[in-house]
Structure formats: structure tokens, C-alpha cells
Amino acid sequence: MALTLKLMMEAANATVPRITPAQAREMIAKGNTLVVDVRDAPEVEKSGKVAGALHVSRGMLEFRADPESPYHDKNFAKDKTVILYCASGGRSALSGKMLKEMGYDHVYNLGAFKDWAEGGGSVDKPIEPGM
């Protein structure tokens, strides 16, 4: 049987726990937490991102997360709690499953950015053009 998006999403959602904005705030407050926005750059530029979040588009995640990659981002460390989000929760679920497969143990899916923002979460606003 061919792999489908539906099957990939079911596996990702079964592997990566979904958390609420309140749970995410608690985890962030404890420290040693990396929040990652896996949306594409135009989405982040339009809406901003979770305050302090690292923006790594879904297509670059593995390259940034792998210490052996020449594109590795030192913010990624396997001893950190990693919280991912996107526009709806789909890309962040798939991203979380991939990070788990890469050896990251504490990975969570915050889901949609708008849920964070509408729930009163702190947001880094986009920079106005020309600023």
C-alpha cells in the first residue's frame, strides 16, 4: 500500500503530543525549550511569530536539526524540549515526527499559530517594510 498524507498525518499525530498554548507557556517558562515555527517565510512575515521562536521552514528542518549537517543550527540540541507550530498543525506534526526519528525525545506540537496569538501568547510582530 502506498503511503498517503492521511497515513503520514495519523502516524505523526500518534507520535507527537499536541499541547495547548497554556501548556506551551508553562514549558517555555521552565527553560531549555526551543520553539520552532515551520511555516514558510511569507507566512511569518505576514503574521509574526511566537516571541523568541526560531523560524525554520519545513523544507530545511532536517538540515538545521542534524548536528552532522553543514547547515546545522546550534539552537537545536537533543536535550531541549522542542515545541513546533505552523498554520494549522499539520506541518508541525510531520516535523515533530521527523525530529523524533532523528533522536529528539521531547517534541510537542503546538498546532496553529493563530491559536497561540488569539490565546494571548506573546508575539514578535513582523518588521514593517523600510524599517
Query: Is domain 8-118 classified as CATH 3.30.360.10?
Result: no
pLDDT score recorded for residue 71: 97
pLDDT score recorded for residue 41: 93
pLDDT score recorded for residue 4: 94
Contacts of 51 (CB under 8 A, 6+ apart): 121, 122, 123, 124
Per-residue model confidence as pLDDT tens digits over 13-56:
999 999 999 999 999 999 999 999 999 999 999 999 999 999 99
Per-residue model confidence as pLDDT tens digits over 73-116:
999 999 999 999 999 999 999 999 999 999 999 999 999 999 99
pTM: 0.93
